């Protein structure tokens, strides 16, 4: 739809507790979102974990290195 930036990431998994994103997803988040972008993971119980993109993948290889 013409969007140019990621403003937030939501993860919902059918698990007992909030599930963090996998390594591949973390790399995609690092490439397309700013380090301060909020990332929220929620379980069906309503329990939630909160991160920033930078916390999930510190020292990420991003476009600034190209």
How much is the pLDDT for 40?
97
Task: Give the C-alpha separation, 56 to 47, whole Å.
Answer: 18
**13: its two tokens:** 């998994």
* Backbone region of residue 8 per phi and psi (left: phi > 0; alpha: psi in -120 to 50; beta: other values): beta
C-alpha angle with apex 21: 16 to 27, nearest 5 degrees?
175
State the Cα–Cα distance between residues 52 and 54, nearest whole angstrom: 5
Confidence of residue 10 (pLDDT cuts 50, 70, 90): very high
pTM for the model stands at 0.82
Instruction: Quote the pLDDT of residue 19.
Output: 94
């Amino acid at each position: 739809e013409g969007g140019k930036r990621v403003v937030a990431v939501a993860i919902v998994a059918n698990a007992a507790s909030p599930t963090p994103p996998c390594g591949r997803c973390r790399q995609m988040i690092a490439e397309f979102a700013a380090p301060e972008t909020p990332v929220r993971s929620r379980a069906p119980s309503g329990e939630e974990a909160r991160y920033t993109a930078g916390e999930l993948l510190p020292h990420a290889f991003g476009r600034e290195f190209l």
